[in-house]
Structure 1
Amino acid sequence: MARGSNQLVVSQARAALEQMKFEVAQELGIQLPQDGYYGHMTTRDMGSIGGYITRRLIQIAEQQLSGR
């Protein structure tokens, strides 16, 4: 795969992932910019959001695989 070619396998998941991003940011006390420009966000904050989303997605997948 070439760089920059990240595409969602399930295109309908985009809205759910965006919603999760806002929920996680709120839980972590991080204010996301209303204009959608993340250039002024710190790497630490964005990494925290991304890491938490990854952990949550893994938890969801594990629950589905275990039949819960």
Structure 2
Amino acid sequence: MKRKSSLFIEFVSGIDMNLRLASSRTTRNQEERKYWEKKSKLHYITQEYSIYLICGFYNFGTANFFFFA
């Protein structure tokens, strides 16, 4: 029981430390946000096109117009 409580206290203090670090670095935070926005847009685009690619490979035997349309 003591081990569980000490782990919980470590976890909470870790969260507190992370919050302090996040509040102290504002410019780096903004840069990170921009980076993740770009990355999420890229991920969305790749996800959208991967669906088309999968459909194309699935219909490759019957209809090749997916690749040539």
- Alignment TM class, shorter chain as reference: 0.3 to 0.5
TM-score w.r.t. length of structure 1: 0.36
More helix by share: 2
Greater relative contact order, per chain length (Cα 8 Å cut-off, separation 6+): 1
Q: Give the structure with higher Rg (CA).
A: 2
